[in-house]
């Protein structure tokens, strides 16, 4: 019945006629509610009065008074799910100051137990409500006042008269006030976060997509609304930062307080954003202490499933892997005897592990040591005076991060550049443990400081940290006699060791060649860890460059922290779905000696 549906939708407005502790409905309806029902139902006022007298006890029994709060009760969340009868509110609600969604304080009584039981002196003003499923709706924001403690309660926060701070209610509301004139359905804030982290969508594009996909509300209103019903990029940013801060406070069981007298939402948020940024430096990311099954060695049992093909297609394992080649493989290979196919397999094997090249570099280094007598891998010995004729180039160049034949490229900077680069520390699964901004250059001493800031105790250091310039970082560590890294291996990652570092560099090959650590390889000669995980993550991270280019430093750091946090959560969820048992090592075990 339409009357019952409308009354349930108007429950918040109707309940203003009774005290909060009363469980029965008011005896009469207010003029605005009664007038709205008359217009929708095409009835006179007496007809509405009779319907209310007959049906109100049953309607009120169906859903008890007091459920309609901003903490997620049915009244507050139902508009997010059900758009039934929306057209009636758009057509008839404006003249009675009734919106499809009633935005009001979390409570109808003062939170101070020493004060009077009920809040009074209702104040309301027109706002825009950005909904995730209904587009932009006209609405009214309501606030209530406690005369005893001089506190005004708004939909998301309360503030004392003369106070400089507004205090937000605990938790995350279903409707979020972005500024005085507009509110967000928080499902929409979440959607914008996902768009940004997954597709590098800018705030401008988020607003554009929302405006394009949302039905036009303005054309369905009988009179123009006071404000534009279009979303812009500043609306998106205000909602994004406030929603992220409230989520963070909820995670840490704290409450958010903002400067109440700030001239804009952006300025009100800036101080809190800077405080949050300071907390995130070093071991601040929620998954900084992340670990999971693939960080450990896994052994395949005899009855494990490791075959390339299932039983029904096991015969294909004897065919050449080159597409459309009908020949059988040669024993010990995946290709037939055709020279072109065999060359393809050999190249594949080299690209897969790069083990052979790094082993050869290490062997040549051992041969080139200026010792009286050295032992080769096969147990034979070679005298020091024989070394000269064995050298491949006769030049004792030190590693400069490039191969002997050079790889110089020209670069030009035609615009502003405030920073040099962002440095990420990425676990082999792709979880970002931390990051830092480098100014001027990515020098080895800066990398060393980054390591120490991110892992401030020896217990918190990973067993292995790959870096493309670890050879120079290692030199800095040794020159300073830094004992912080005694239990941490610092190899150059496999890709850069192959392509960017000189084969003739003795220090690099002896201290940073990953083949030096048997723990980094499996028994069958494969690399145990994916040392290229950071390169993949860098490609994702670089997608935000156009978005953050003109940001202030506080928003810049906060935004990137949030993107990293969200991406980490997605990765951990995927690991959990794949039964890889992700977990966080207790921080007190890693930081107990700070």
CB 509 within 8 A of CB 392: no
38, 43, 44, 49: CA torsion to nearest 10: -70
* pLDDT recorded at residue 10: 86
> How far does CA 139 lie from the centroid of its chain?
31
pLDDT(302) > 70: no
pLDDT(71) > 70: no
For 139-153, 304-318, 351-365, 399-413, which range has the lowest pLDDT when averaged over its residues?
Answer: 399-413
Cα–Cα distance for residue pair 105/108, rounded to 1 Å: 7
Buried b (16+ CB within 10 A) or exposed e, 267-305: ebbbebbeebbeebebbebebbbbbbebbeeeeeeeeee
pLDDT(344) > 70: yes
* pLDDT recorded at residue 300: 55
For 176-190, 341-355, 456-470, which range has the lowest pLDDT when averaged over its residues?
Answer: 341-355
Cα–Cα distance for residue pair 125/258, rounded to 1 Å: 21
Contacts (Cβ under 8 Å, ≥6 apart) of 385: none
Residue in 156, 162, 122, 145 with CA at minimum distance from that of residue 261: 162
3-state secondary structure (DSSP) of residue 257: strand
What is the average per-residue pLDDT within 425-452? 91
* pLDDT recorded at residue 390: 29
CB 131 within 8 A of CB 80: yes
The per-residue pLDDT for range 385-422, each reduced to its tens digit, is 322 322 333 333 445 555 555 554 434 343 456 788 89
> How far does CA 252 lie from the centroid of its chain?
17
pLDDT(374) > 60: no
In this prediction, residue 303 has a pLDDT band, given cuts at 50, 70 and 90, of low
For 122-131, 266-275, 505-514, 582-591, which range has the lowest pLDDT when averaged over its residues?
Answer: 505-514
What is the average per-residue pLDDT within 529-545? 85
Task: State the chain's mean pLDDT as an integer.
Answer: 81
pLDDT(384) > 80: no
pLDDT(365) > 60: no
pLDDT(172) > 50: yes
3-state secondary structure (DSSP) of residue 427: coil
**Cα distance from N-terminal residue to C-terminal residue, the chain:** 66
pLDDT(168) > 90: yes
In this prediction, residue 356 has a pLDDT band, given cuts at 50, 70 and 90, of low
Residue in 165, 193, 189 with CA at minimum distance from that of residue 177: 189
> Whose structure tokens read 């029965």?
24
* pLDDT recorded at residue 373: 32
Structure tokens, 23? 């469980």
Backbone angles phi, psi at 170, to 5 degrees: -65, 150
Host H or E run for residue 184: strand 182-185
Alpha carbons within 13 A on the beta-carbon side of 512: 30
């Amino acid at each position: 019945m339409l009357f019952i549906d409308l009354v349930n939708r108007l429950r918040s407005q109707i309940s203003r006629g009774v005290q909060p502790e009363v469980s029965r409905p008011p005896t009469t309806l207010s003029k605005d509610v009664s007038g709205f029902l008359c217009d929708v139902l095409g009835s006179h006022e007496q007809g509405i009065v009779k319907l209310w007298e007959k049906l109100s006890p049953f309607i009120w029994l169906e859903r008890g008074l007091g459920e309609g709060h901003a903490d997620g009760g049915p009244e507050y969340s139902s508009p997010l799910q059900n758009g039934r009868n929306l057209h009636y509110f758009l057509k008839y609600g404006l003249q009675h100051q009734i919106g499809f969604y009633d935005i009001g304080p979390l409570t109808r009584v003062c939170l101070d137990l020493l004060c009077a039981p009920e809040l009074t002196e209702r104040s309301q003003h027109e706002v825009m409500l950005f909904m995730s499923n209904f587009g932009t709706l006209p609405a009214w924001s309501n606030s209530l006042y406690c005369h005893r403690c001089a506190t005004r309660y708004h939909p998301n926060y309360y503030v004392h008269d003369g106070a400089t701070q507004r205090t937000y209610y605990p938790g995350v509301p279903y409707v979020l006030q972005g500024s005085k004139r507009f509110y967000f359905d928080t499902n929409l804030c979440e959607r914008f976060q996902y768009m940004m982290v997954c597709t590098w969508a800018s705030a401008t594009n988020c607003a554009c997509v929302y405006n394009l996909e949302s039905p036009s509300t303005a054309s369905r209103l009988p009179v123009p609304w006071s404000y534009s019903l279009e979303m812009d990029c500043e609306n998106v940013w205000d909602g994004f930062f406030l929603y992220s801060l409230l989520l963070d406070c909820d995670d840490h069981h704290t409450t958010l307080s903002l400067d109440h007298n700030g001239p804009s939402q952006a300025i009100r948020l800036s101080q809190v954003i800077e405080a949050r940024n300071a907390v995130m430096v070093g071991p601040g990311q929620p998954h900084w202490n992340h670990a999971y099954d693939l960080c450990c060695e896994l052994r395949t049992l005899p009855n494990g499933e490791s075959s390339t093909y299932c039983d029904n297609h096991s015969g294909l394992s004897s065919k050449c892997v080159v597409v459309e080649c009908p020949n059988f493989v040669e024993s010990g290979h995946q290709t037939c005897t055709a020279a072109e196919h065999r060359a393809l397999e050999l190249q594949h094997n080299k690209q897969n592990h790069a083990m052979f090249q790094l082993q050869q570099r290490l062997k040549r280094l051992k041969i080139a040591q200026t010792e009286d007598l050295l032992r080769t891998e096969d147990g034979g010995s070679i005298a020091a005076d024989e070394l000269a004729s064995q050298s491949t180039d006769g030049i004792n160049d030190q590693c400069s991060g490039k191969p002997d034949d050079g790889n110089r490229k020209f670069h030009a900077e035609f615009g502003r550049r405030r920073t040099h680069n962002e440095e990420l520390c990425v676990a082999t699964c792709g979880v970002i443990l931390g990051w830092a901004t480098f100014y001027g250059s990515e020098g080895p001493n800066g990398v060393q400081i980054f390591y120490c800031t991110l892992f401030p105790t020896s217990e918190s250091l990973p067993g292995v940290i790959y870096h493309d310039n670890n050879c120079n970082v290692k030199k800095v560590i040794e020159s300073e006699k830094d004992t912080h890294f005694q239990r941490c291996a610092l190899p150059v990652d496999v890709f850069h060791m192959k392509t960017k570092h000189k084969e003739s560099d003795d220090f690099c090959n002896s201290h940073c060649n990953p083949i030096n650590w048997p723990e980094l390889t499996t028994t069958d000669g494969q690399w145990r860890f994916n040392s290229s995980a950071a390169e993949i993550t860098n490609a994702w991270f670089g997608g935000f460059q156009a978005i953050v280019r003109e940001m202030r430093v506080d928003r810049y750091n906060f935004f990137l922290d949030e993107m990293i946090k969200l991406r980490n959560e997605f990765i951990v969820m995927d690991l959990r779905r794949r039964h890889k048992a992700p977990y966080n090592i207790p921080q007190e075990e890693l930081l107990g000696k700070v």
